[in-house]
Amino acid sequence: MLKLCNLMTRRLEEFQPLDERGVLVYTCGPSTYQLPHIGNYRTFLYEDVLVRYLEYLGYRVERILFITDVEDKAISEAQKEQVALQDLMEGNIKAFLREFRKLRAEEPTHITRSSKSVNQAVQIIEALLKKGYAYWHGGNVYYDALKFKGFGKLYRLDMSRWPKEKKRFHKDTYPGNRWNLGDFILWHGFRAGDEVFWNTRIGKGRPAWNVQDPSMALQTQGLRADIYCGGVDNMIRHHDYVVAITEAVSDKPFVRFWLHGEHLFVDGRKMSKSLGNIIYPKDLIGRGCEWQHLRFFLINGYYRKRLNFTFARFKKMCDRLHEFKDMVNKLQKVKSATRESDQRAKKLIGRLKSDFESNMNNDLHVKDAFDDVFETVSKLCLLAERGKVSAADSQKAIGVLRSIDRVLQVIF
């Protein structure tokens, strides 16, 4: 059985879908005010591995990718670049999807954008106002966090720190890894000079960031899903807001499993503009790196463990993948005269599938899975060199590896 670390319970739990007919996975996409860097792609690719492995296990999977294309940062960036918001977003989204495909990520079932789900955001806000979870203030709509029983339960927020006086936070996002202890914004009411707004039933304005994922969910498959994935940074001031919004509207748990991937650091430090250490895929491809190498580096670890990028480590991973692909190529060319393989070879071939699955079933330990497969293939190659592996069994091994590579997408 596949077991996943559910951040809502902090336990490793056996995965069971809500509906036997399929699995619904919601995944946070990029905030497209800027191009995604390799740390963002680490998140998108662990999500891709999850979806592919669920399909490998026989599930029918729907992956919904949320793209945030309207928010404070995007509007500020468009003004800074002196371009229309839509033009900025279109260019960045096209670039993201192009790189997404080059990294061999499977096309999501639905790619939805927050600018296309404004009506659903209004519907959610109206429901929250009617139920008393939200209120108007100064032309904006805010969510009264204390009205939601269990607010902060995903992060395990210490509610004893909550201030006695009423506080409101009106920006979409705030810098740093601290909580805004107060009410958060749902709707930015129109202000004179605003260039981005919609005319809606609740007036002119635009939806705030934290209501956008729920609105995109409502637009596609609704406020109930098997798995919700994102980066660990979403644990601060985002996913608990999403839980509070969706569960206040539906009166039901929003998601069964919450998965969060850890950061990618560069030379031991978090990527930031101030440090000048942000790395984009194009920076590596321009140095002779192949897209398959980059995918391998980003998935070849444990998604819940921080990954550190150095050029030396990256080269080592590229060399390891080359070595593995060379061994697979040798197996493909086996033309042994022997009709029956050595029993050791038969056991090794049998281990390929079981070792891969046992590691992947343990919360997607990709590195352990690959390392075990690498070791088994290397032993098979040694036996093949001695004429101990039949051509038929070598092709059987290749068949298993092709099945594994439907998940990894780095071997063939």
Question: Mind listing the pLDDT tens digit for each residue in 176-212?
Answer: 889 999 999 999 999 999 999 999 999 999 999 999 9
200 Cβ neighbours under 8 A, 6+ residues apart: 118, 119, 122
Sign (positive or negative) of CA dihedral 248, 249, 255, 259: negative
Q: Are residues 162 and 51 part of one domain?
A: yes
Q: Are residues 261 and 337 in the same domain?
A: no
> pLDDT tens digits for 240-276?
999 999 999 999 999 999 999 999 999 999 988 778 8
Q: Confidence class of residue 331 from pLDDT cuts 50, 70 and 90?
A: very high
**Is residue 284, in this structure, part of any structural domain at all?**
no
Q: How far apart are CA 319 and CA 317, in angstroms?
A: 5
Phi, psi for 229 (deg, rounded to 5): -115, 150
Range of the domain at 379: 317-408
Q: What is the dihedral of CA 167, 172, 175, 178, to 10 degrees?
A: 40
Note whether 25 and 146 are same-domain residues: yes
Q: Does residue 336 carry a pLDDT above 80? A: no
Domain boundary among the residues 270, 291, 308 is at 270
Provide the percentage of residues in the chain whose pLDDT is more than 90. Answer: 93
Residue 6 lies in a domain: no
Q: Examine residue 93 and state whether it is found in any structural domain, yes or no.
A: yes
Instruction: Give the range among 28-37, 46-55, 103-112 with minimum mean pLDDT.
Output: 28-37
Specify whether 262 is located in the same domain as 386. no
Q: Is 400's pLDDT higher than 80?
A: yes
Tell me, yes or no, whether 120 lies in a domain: yes
- Flag whether 276 is in a domain: no
Q: What is the largest CA-CA distance in the chain?
A: 83
Residue 20 pLDDT: 85
CATH code at position 24: 3.40.50.620
In a domain, 109, yes or no: yes
When divided into structural domains, the chain yields a total of 2
Of the three residues 213, 240, 270, the one that is the final residue of a domain is: 270
Looking from the CA of 140 toward its CB, the CA atoms found within 13 Å total 18
The pLDDT value given to residue 95: 95
Q: Does the pLDDT of residue 323 top 80, yes or no?
A: yes
Asked whether residue 338 carries a pLDDT value surpassing 80, the answer given is no
Query: Does residue 166 sit within a domain?
Result: yes
CA of residue 79 relative to chain centroid, distance: 29
Same domain assignment for residues 210 and 337: no
Same domain, 158 and 247: yes
Is residue 303 assigned to a domain?
A: no
Confidence of residue 21 (pLDDT cuts 50, 70, 90): confident
Q: What is the pLDDT of residue 339?
A: 80
Residue range 122-143, pLDDT digits in tens: 999 999 999 999 999 999 999 9
